[in-house]
Amino acid sequence: MPEENSGAQPRLRYRSVLFICAANTARSIMAEYIMKRELEARGLHERVTVRSAGIAPYARDGSLVSLDTRITLREDGIDISDEAKSTALRRHPEMLEEADLILAMTEKQAADLRANFLRDSERPIYTLREFAGGKGDVEDPWLEGIEVWIACREEIKRMLPIVIDRMLLDSPANSSSEQPV
């Protein structure tokens, strides 16, 4: 059921977003924190829950978020705790049920979600690029130089305003044929 429009508050199509990447130590963490900042700038941070998790077999609950991720975010004004930890989706499948919008960093991760976590579900799963109107994957900067990490962050930053616009019921980015969750 769509949220009622109260005053100047935009109506939301999605109220809970889950970002998925391999280990939840880089891309999905960047997307989570950048989206939280963007939502706060738009006054929507109290109305949308944003979380992230890792889907790879090697994803572990409690792994430290990559130092490169923390540095890359800090250079952009987002300071996450040095103790920030990852979440393994296989240990927290309820996160999928709690999410209105599921965004994977790669097409393979989206396919893995459909095959291994949501086999009988009709719930839509998108890649971040797909939901933002593009194609392809957000490549993993792991084991690359800081320039690659910064490029990854900037790519995510470019897409998230489009994603948030698509989350709004009254956005021009939404076609009348899309149905709210």
Q: What are the pLDDT digits (tens) for 30-79?
A: 999 999 999 999 999 999 999 999 999 999 999 999 999 999 999 999 99
The pLDDT value given to residue 181: 33
Fold of 18-167: Rossmann fold (3.40.50)
Report the alpha-carbon distance of residue 32 to residue 93 in Å, rounded: 18
> 18 pLDDT exceeds 90?
yes
The lowest-confidence range among 35-44, 76-85, 94-103 is 76-85
The pLDDT value given to residue 114: 93
CA atoms within 13 A on the CB side of 155: 19
> 99 pLDDT exceeds 90?
yes
- CA distance to 1, 6, 68, 118, per residue, from 19 (Å): 23, 28, 19, 15
For residue 25, give every residue at least 6 positions away whose Cβ sits within 8 Å of its Cβ, in sequence order, or none. Answer: 54, 63, 64, 65, 66, 69, 86
CB atoms closer than 10 angstroms to residue 144: 13
- Geometric angle at alpha carbon 18, from 34 and 8, rounded to 5°: 65
- CA distance to 26, 30, 31, 54, per residue, from 63 (Å): 11, 15, 18, 11
